[in-house]
Structure 1
Amino acid sequence: MNGLELATPFALALLPAPLLLRAFFGVRAAPGGGLPLPATIRERLGAGASANRLRLSWREIAAALAWIGLVLALAGPRVAGEVAALPAAGRDIMLALDLSGSMTKTDFELDGVAASRLAVLKHVGAELIRRRAGDRIGLVVFAETAFAAAPSSFDLRAVSATLEEMEIGLVGRSTAIGEGLGLALKRLSDSTAPSRLVILLSDGANNTGSSEPAAVAELARGMGVKIFTIGLGVDDTSSKPDDPDAVDFAALQHIAEIGGGAAFRARTGAELGAATRAIEALVAGPAPAPPTIIFREFWIYPGALAFVAAAALVLSTRERR
């Protein structure tokens, strides 16, 4: 906590303004005739006037307090304090998540209990989002089509809640990887963040949509957006090419290679969590942010003094009438 300071200290230059105005534009006695007075009476009147001039009436005091309070309020007395800010990572992250029908397959475990791929994805994805304090994170989901579920935001709790509400069937049941990746890039196109990346997670192969994933990855490289991919599932097309639920990890590797990122394989929930942490480790750590300066304002107190003094003057004027 710092000491008392003034927001606009030059306002104090207004303090002598009434005295200056009175000195330069004081009321002059109106010319006119009058009866001549004896010298002794004039001397007594003069002495009395001088004594009265040395005394200030309460109205003059109230006017002075009103002016002083007003000027002090304009000067803005305040006390500055520091509040630690969140680390400014300077990243915009879009999560592109597969919600195709194969995500309902129960071949994973969550806390020792059999769980669907979607349930594990929600659990691990929510943890990832909550860990990214200081980043802006958005959410795109895709299956037969792509849908922007959550815009880029620092409100990680809201993005995490949106992920946990996602259900299979919202955007079809096929797998349009190119469409999901393309929409994620579109959401990052207006970002001015120094670091932009897409984390693409899929448990299948690109089997629908008009956009080729490799072509979209080329576009991402031209935009300076890095792509990281995670292949989710026990089997992949290299070992079981005829399995409709097998993940095309070779294609995901190719996308990540073009996009300047890295590809990860996740056959269990633990491997999925490790993959997300590995991606975080590959991205530069957060930069220290300067503390946020907040001010405790005190102008209200001299302002209240000015108001009370001015109100007293107005009331006394009405009573005299």
Structure 2
Amino acid sequence: MPNWLTALVSAFDLASPYALLLLPLPLLAARLMPAERVGSSGALRVPASLVAAAARGDSVAARGRGRAVLVWTLWAALVVALAGPRLVLPATALPASGREIMLVMDLSGSMERRDFALDGQTVNRLAAVKRVGTDFIRRRAGDRIGLVIFANESYVAASPSFDTATVARALDEATIGLVGRSTGIGDGLGLALKRLTPPPSAETGEGGPPVTDKVVILLTDGANNAGQTTPRDVAGLAKDLGVRVHTIALGPRDLSNAEGEQDVVDTETLREIADLTGGRMFRVKTTDDLMAMADAIDEIEGGRAKAPPLPLRKDLWPWPAALGFLCAAGLLAARRTA
């Protein structure tokens, strides 16, 4: 047997194989309900023209045999279609990790500063973050990933999803000034915690699907100066919820060496958040640091493996159903020409 035929036979399956037991049903009905004996009284008067046609013999018998073939083919086709023939083909296994990651990105006015290099040109901080961030998101296939942006206000730009392309596009479309120009780190981090999938309730069974790991990646180039909550308080909540927070301190200068300079990153607070939640703090001063940070987080939050492949089923029942339709049309045409 050729290899392709062997593969086809091995992939063939029936959704309802017991439906094939209906095939002998007409024979069983004929056995249990025999035709009326010759000579018994009947209620049907046969026109003389049909009697004369029946007397011609062979042509009528041939039409009868053809009609019987169509009837049995129609019945067999309907039963096979009811059995649900299909091909079961293996699907390509996708990566899966069980992680849920929320990116929390600063969109304050200081992100407009042009002190990063990209492709040999000086660009603002947001452009560098978009280039590295979108690449990082696309590499996280198999994770549920979302995006929160913050400044004066916080906003969910992309809910957690396995659609990494959509989340990457949301980051690429982020614009400074969309949610203000100040820096509300605490509110942004709090909104990210709120949007992470809640664990199923033991009493009601309600909640999202079980997630083995929840991670927040917080990027900012300033200090908290807006919002209703403090970063340290929200970090304590993240610890209680079992959420790991990696923090990214962006910019060449920070509060420890700024000497009165405004809008510099609060490295100490970001380090405390990361230490408290079991995450890691990254100090990013250049585009190279930004790329190295993305690679490091990708390695830390690795552990992705191939998910079990799900079978793809291609239904074949329309083919026998179409054959049955053609047989029914043939019977109707034969009845009209009789």
Would you call these one fold, judging by a TM-score over 0.5? yes
In the alignment, structure 2 segments of 5+ residues that lack a partner are 1-6, 43-59, 199-207
1:148 to 148, 156, 165: 156
Match of 1:77 in 2: 85
Distance 2:120 2:255 in 1: 27
Aligned amino acid, residue 268 of structure 1: T
Distance 1:105 1:171 in 2: 18
SS at match of 1:57: helix
Residue 151 (structure 2) pairs with residue 133 (structure 1) = no
Q: Displacement, 1:17?
A: 0.5
Distance 1:86 1:74 in 2: 33
2:216 to 173, 178, 198: 198
2:250 to 227, 232, 246: 232
Distance 2:242 2:302 in 1: 15
2:166 to 142, 158, 168: 158
Match of 1:305 in 2: 323
Q: Displacement, 1:237?
A: 0.7
Match of 1:43 in 2: none
Residue 241 (structure 2) pairs with residue 223 (structure 1) = yes
Residue 179 (structure 2) pairs with residue 171 (structure 1) = yes
Provide, for residues 241-298 of structure 1, a one-character-per-residue CA deviation record: whole Å limited to 9, x for no partner. Answer: 5221211011001111122211110011110111121112112411221123112332
Distance 1:289 1:305 in 2: 39
- Larger mean CA deviation between 94-103 and 215-224 belongs to 215-224
Provide, for residues 57-76 of structure 1, a one-character-per-residue CA deviation record: whole Å limited to 9, x for no partner. Answer: 21111110000111111122
Q: Displacement, 1:56?
A: 6.2
Aligned amino acid, residue 254 of structure 2: D
Distance 2:20 2:236 in 1: 62
Aligned amino acid, residue 317 of structure 1: R
Q: How does 1:100-139 map to 2 (within 5 A)?
A: 100-139=108-147
Distance 1:113 1:100 in 2: 22
Residue 250 (structure 2) pairs with residue 242 (structure 1) = no
Q: How does 1:24-43 map to 2 (within 5 A)?
A: 24-29=32-37, 31-32=40-41
Q: How does 1:12-27 map to 2 (within 5 A)?
A: 12-27=20-35
Provide, for residues 118-154 of structure 1, a one-character-per-residue CA deviation record: whole Å limited to 9, x for no partner. Answer: 1111111111111111112111100111111111122
Q: Displacement, 1:112?
A: 2.3
User: Percent same amino acid at aligned positions?
Assistant: 47
Q: Which has the larger radius of gyration?
A: 1
Distance 1:110 1:143 in 2: 24
Give the TM-score normalised by structure 1. 0.88
Q: Displacement, 1:189?
A: 4.0
Match of 1:289 in 2: 307
Match of 2:285 in 1: 267
Distance 2:335 2:259 in 1: 97
Distance 1:98 1:3 in 2: 52
Aligned amino acid, residue 107 of structure 2: L
Aligned amino acid, residue 129 of structure 2: L
Match of 2:47 in 1: none
Match of 1:180 in 2: 188
Distance 1:288 1:231 in 2: 33
Q: How many residues align?
A: 303
Aligned amino acid, residue 218 of structure 1: G
SS at match of 2:224: coil
SS at match of 2:27: helix
- Larger mean CA deviation between 233-242 and 89-98 belongs to 233-242
Q: Is the 2:11–2:89 Cα contact (8 Å) retained in structure 1? A: no
The 1:13–1:88 alpha-carbon spacing in structure 2 relative to 1, beyond 3 Å, is same
- Larger mean CA deviation between 1-10 and 273-282 belongs to 1-10
Distance 1:82 1:70 in 2: 28
- Measured on the aligned residues, the alpha-carbon RMSD in Å equals 2.2
Q: Displacement, 1:317?
A: 2.5
Residue 276 (structure 2) pairs with residue 254 (structure 1) = no
Q: Is the 2:215–2:245 Cα contact (8 Å) retained in structure 1? A: yes
The 1:32–1:127 alpha-carbon spacing in structure 2 relative to 1, beyond 3 Å, is closer
Aligned amino acid, residue 175 of structure 2: E
Aligned amino acid, residue 310 of structure 2: T
The 1:28–1:107 alpha-carbon spacing in structure 2 relative to 1, beyond 3 Å, is same
Residue 229 (structure 2) pairs with residue 211 (structure 1) = yes
SS at match of 2:94: coil
Give the TM-score normalised by structure 2. 0.84
Distance 1:241 1:69 in 2: 86
